[in-house]
Structure 1
């Protein structure tokens, strides 16, 4: 299998890279990123800023895609920049890879993703629906709750949520408990290595 991983330098993406490089069914991992990754015999790491996409590049020809791209409005700098990273870029790459023959796609989304007034959750729902419309043979959406990780750039809301969850864990329904990047990565990777036909949604409680 030739696998494309998007968002390889993030918490979930880093866990994906580690797992994918060890997986016996994966022959090549392609991980375009803005900064270089550690070298590995199975890894191809085009360094790119993604603006614009090099649509003629050969590395988009893959069997499967996992998207772990994600940011915050604060980190992105504006709602427009956030939308580009979390919706427009994943959808553009999904469209391109599908046209070049990719059969399976797995997306790291968010707990509670749905169309509505909440900008963040609405954006997540839009990218879910956009990729679903491309009719991959297998499309899996993973919707984690808070991600239990130490980030290089602090996310205050996430840190407060993790602190609250650590104290009140017995009282918090499983659906809302923090999950590890490793658990999310395992679900995403399994979805493309052992693809099931159709569209599938894995909610956060099933990642624990």
Structure 2
């Protein structure tokens, strides 16, 4: 399986990249982003590209791939709806629409979030936008679309969040997360489990398109 990865330098993307490089059935990982991951691996090809709203300059390198894992995203904290919509909805659909035109046989895995609002009518801004994004992706004629809705995520293997507030939270709560995971396995997931779940869904399919925390951990 050949994988296209967006967001490989973020916390979730780092976890997904690690699992892809470890998986013997993933033969190539093409990472697209504004910065390099800092990793060297025979399976890893990195493409520096500043504007993911326009993939046309690199389109010839993206067509012969089996699955896309889209792990780009930002926190809604401090953002108005228009700005958050542009980064979350517009950017995701710009990438997905281009890829679907290049190769509709590709599967598309999208990192959404627990509480995403499929009705698009709720009071919570970020949940509405995430739900709108999910719905739009499901309308694209990919081979399959998988929508992952993780909540709390425990970073493993030295992976750290790039968001300062999240780093502080993980530092404070880190010692308690293994106990929480043991007492209530589906109250959180890990970067390793999420990466493995995305690979499994792309390779073998999933029971449904929308995958909540319990589904992620089962995969």
TM-score category, normalised to shorter length = 0.7 to 0.9
Aligned to 1:40: 41
C-alpha distance 26-113 of structure 1, shift in aligned 2 (>3 A): same
TM-superposed CA distance for 1:32, in Å, is 0.6
* Aligned alpha-carbon RMSD (Å): 2.9
Alpha-carbon deviations, 1:139-191, whole Å to 9, x = none? Answer: 1111111222342322369929x849949949x9765x232111111111111
| Counterpart-to-counterpart distance in 2, 1:97 and 1:130 | 14
| Counterpart-to-counterpart distance in 2, 1:109 and 1:184 | 12
Aligned to 2:195: 185
Q: Report matched runs for 1:66-105 at 5 Å.
A: 66-74=69-77, 78-101=80-103, 102-105=105-108
Aligned to 1:205: 214
Which of the numbers 115, 125, 141 marks the counterpart of 2:147? 141
C-alpha distance 26-51 of structure 1, shift in aligned 2 (>3 A): closer
Aligned to 1:112: 115
C-alpha distance 63-148 of structure 1, shift in aligned 2 (>3 A): same
C-alpha distance 41-169 of structure 1, shift in aligned 2 (>3 A): closer
Asked whether the 8 Å contact 1:142–1:187 carries over to 2, the reply is: no
Structure 2 residues not aligned, in runs of 5+: none
How many residue pairs get aligned? The number is 203
| Counterpart-to-counterpart distance in 2, 1:164 and 1:100 | 42
Asked whether the 8 Å contact 1:87–1:123 carries over to 2, the reply is: yes
Name segments (4+ residues, structure 1) moved above 3 Å: 77-81, 162-170, 172-175
TM-score by length of 1: 0.83
Structure 1 residues not aligned, in runs of 5+: none
Aligned to 2:138: 132
Aligned to 2:50: 49
| Counterpart-to-counterpart distance in 1, 2:116 and 2:77 | 19
| Counterpart-to-counterpart distance in 2, 1:73 and 1:120 | 6
Q: Which moved more, 1:106-115 or 1:48-57?
A: 48-57
